[in-house]
Structure 1
Amino acid sequence: MKKPIKDQKAVLIILLSNIFIPFLGIGLIIPVMPSFMNIMHLSGSTMGYLIAVFAVAQLIMSPFAGRWVDRYGRKKIITLGLFLFGISELIFGVGTHVSVLYLSRILGGISAAFIMPGVTAYVADITSVQERPKAMGYISAAISTGFIIGPGIGGFIAEYGIRLPFFFAAGIAFLACISSMFILKEPLTKEQLAENFDNNKQTNFIGDLKKSLNPVFFIAFIIVFVLAFGLSAYETVFSLFSDHKFGFTPKDIAAIITISSIFGVVVQVFMFGKLVDILGEKKLIQLCLIVGAILAVASTMISSYLAVLTVTCFIFLAFDLLRPALTTFLSKAGGKEQGFVAGMNSTYTSLGNIVGPAMAGILFDVNINYPYLFAAVILVIGLGFTFIWKENKLAESLAE
C-alpha cells in the first residue's frame, strides 16, 4: 500500500525541487538576454533560434526519454537530466561564440526531456490514485513558481555580472543532482521496470501523430499549438522589445515579469474553477484568445512603465487561464486514452515553442512591433478554429 503524501514530504520536496530548478534556470536568464545580445552582437533571429532549438531538442528526445524512464529507472534519468542541465547553463555562461550557445541550448532541451517525465513518473509511482491529482498540482505549481521567481532573481543577480545568473543556475542544478543521488530511491523493482518497458514497446509515436491529424482531434491540438506559439512568440521578444523600445534595465524587466506572473497565478488559483463553472472550458478559451490578441496589439502602442506592466499582467493572465482550460477539457475528453492526449498535447506544445520563437526573432529584425502583431494574428486564427470545434465529437471519439 502506498504511503500518503504527508508521510513522504522529504521525497516530494526533492522531486518538486528537481522540476522547479530547470524552470527557475530558464527564468533566471530572461532579464539578461538583451544585454547578452548586445555584448555578443547577436540578431533578434539568432535569439529566437536559440530559444527554438531548446524545444527542438526536447521534442526529439522526449519519446526516447519516456522509454528510458521506464527501462532504466526514474532516479537515474532524473539525476542525469539535472547534471546535463547544470552543464548546459555552465556552457552558456562561459560561451563567447554563438555555436557554443547553440550547444548549450541543445543540452538544455535534452535535460528537460529527461527531468519532466522522470519526476512525473516518480510522483505517480509513490502516490495513490486519490492523491495523484493533488501531487500533479504540486508539480504544476513548482513549474509556475520557477518561472515567477526566476526572472526576479536573475535581474538582481545580473547587477553583479550578466553571466552570473547562468553560473547560479548551474550551481543549484549540480546541488540538486547530488541531493537526488543520495536521498531518492528508485521506486520500482527491476522486474517492474522491465515489465513497463515491454508494455511501452507497443506505443508508436508516428502512429499517434497520424491519429492526431484526424479532424476530430486536430482542431483541439491546433489550439494547443496556437497557445504555445502565441505565448512563446510574445515571451521571446518581451525582454528584447522592452530593452530596445523603452530602455528598461534587467531589473525593470525582471520586476514586470515577476509581478505579472504572480498576478496570473493568484487569479488562476482562486478564480479558475469559478470561471470554468460560469463559462465552461470552450467559452473561457475563446475569451482568453480574444483578450490575448487585443493586448498583443496594445503592446505596440504603449510607452510608459505602468502601462507596460498593466498590459503584461493581463496578457499573462489570459495565457495562464487558457492553458489549464484547454488541458482540463482534453483530460475530461480523454477517456481511456489519457496517454495519447497527454502525449500529443506535449508534442503540439513543443512544435509551437519551436516555430513561435523562430518567427518572432526573424520578425523582430524586420520591425520591432511585428512579433506582437503576428502573435495577435495567430491567436485570432486559433479563435476562428474554436467556432468549428465540436467538443462532443472529440469526447465521443475518444470514448470509443
Structure 2
Amino acid sequence: MPRFQAPRGTQDVLPAMQPYWQAVLDAVREVARLHGFQRIDTPMFEVAGVFEKGSGDTTDIVEKEMYVFEDRGGDRLALTPEGTPAIVRAYLEHGMSSWPQPVRLYTTHPMFRYDRPQKGRYRQHTQFDAEVLGSADPLVDAEVITMLWRLYGMLGIRGITVRLGSLDDLEPRRTYVERLKDYYRPFLDRLSEDSRRRFERNPLRLLDSKDERDIPFKEGAPKLVDQLSPAAREHHDAVQAALAAAGVKFAVDPLLVRGLDYYNRTVFEVVPDDDERAQGTIGGGGRYDGLVELLGGPPTPGIGFGTGIERIILEMQKNGVVFEPAPAAEVFIVHRGEGSAPAAVRLAAALRDRGIAAVIGEGGRSFKAQLRSANAAGARLALIIGEDELAQGIATLKPLEGEGEQAGVPLEQAAEAARARLRAG
C-alpha cells in the first residue's frame, strides 16, 4: 500500500521548529500592539473576483498561481493567495469607513499559490499582513515600513536594507509608461515570453522580471523615480525623511515596481544585504490608493505589507538565532502496580491545576524504562508511585537534574511539594 506524503510545495512544521513559529507570532502580536494595529481574520477562500479585480488580471498571482475552484453551489472561489484584497473586502463589507480613520488591521493567514517550490517559498505558506486604510499621509507609509523593520529586529535579523521606490500616481504614470514601451520596443524579440506579453498589458512589470533574458535591459530603462510628479515627489521625500528619523536603513531603488497592479506612490521591499540580485526578498508592500475603488468602495487611500513567516524563520536561522528544545514535561509520573494508575491520574491533575506540565508514564513498563522516558522528556522531577508507595500513601520525589536527594512525600501533598522543588531550582 503506498505511503502518503505532504503535497508538493507544502511542509509539516515539526515540534523542533515550533519555537521559531512561536517566537515570530509573539513578535507579530507585540509589534502590532506597539503600532496600534487590531487583528482581523478573513476566510481561507474568497470569491475569485476579489483577487482578480484586486490583485490585477496581469499579475503572476492571478495568471498562473491562484487556486480557483467551483463549489457545489456553482460559486467560483479562490484560496487566498495574498492578504490585502481580502482585508479591503472586509473593510468595505463591514462599514469600517465609518470607524475613526485610519483603520489599522493585521493578520497572520495561510496563503496558497501554485508556484515553483523552493527554499522558503511554499505553495501553502503563512503571511503576516498589516494594512492601514483611510490615510494618505506619507508618515503613515514610514510607520508601516518601520513596523516591519522593527519586527525583523525583534527576531534577531540583521544585515538587511529597505529598498524604497515610488510609482507616482496613475495619471502622471501614463506618460512614463509610453516612454518605457518606446525603450523596450526594439528589444521585444530578445525578451522572455512573459515580458513580451506584459509589454502591452502592463509594461511596468518588465522592470519586475527576474528572468535572465530580461535582466540586461533593465538598467538602461528610463527611471520613473527620476520624473515623479510634484505631489508624488513631495510624498517620496517625506517618506525618506521619516525613515531616516526612525533609523531605518534604506536605499532608493529606481527599478522597484513590485508584482501587483494596485500599487501607487510608495513601494518597498526588505532584502538581505548579501543578496546582490534582490532575489530573496523577506517582505514588502506599498501604497494602494485606488484598490478600495476597484473593489466597489469610495476613494480610500491605503498602504500595507506582507511578509512570509517561513522566509522570516530562514533569515533568523541564517542570523544564528537558535532555541533550546522545549521539554515535554516538568514532572514525569512513574507508576507501576495494582492501583497505581488512578493515583497517577489524580496526581497529574493536581500538578496541571498548579500550572505544572506533567506526563504519566506507561504502567506496563519497568521503573527503569519509565525513568529513561522521563529523562527523554526533559523532566526535572519524577514522582514515583509503586506498590510500596501506595501501601504507605506516599510518592517518591526524585530530582532528575541538579542536586537534591529523593524523598517520600504524602500523596495529597506531592503536587505542592513538586511545585516548591521546581521553584527552588
TM tier relative to shorter chain = under 0.3
What TM-score, normalized to structure 1?
Answer: 0.22
Q: Please tell me whether Structure 1 or Structure 2 has the larger radius of gyration of its CA atoms.
A: 2
Larger RCO: Structure 1 or Structure 2 (Cα < 8 Å, ≥ 6 residues apart)? 1
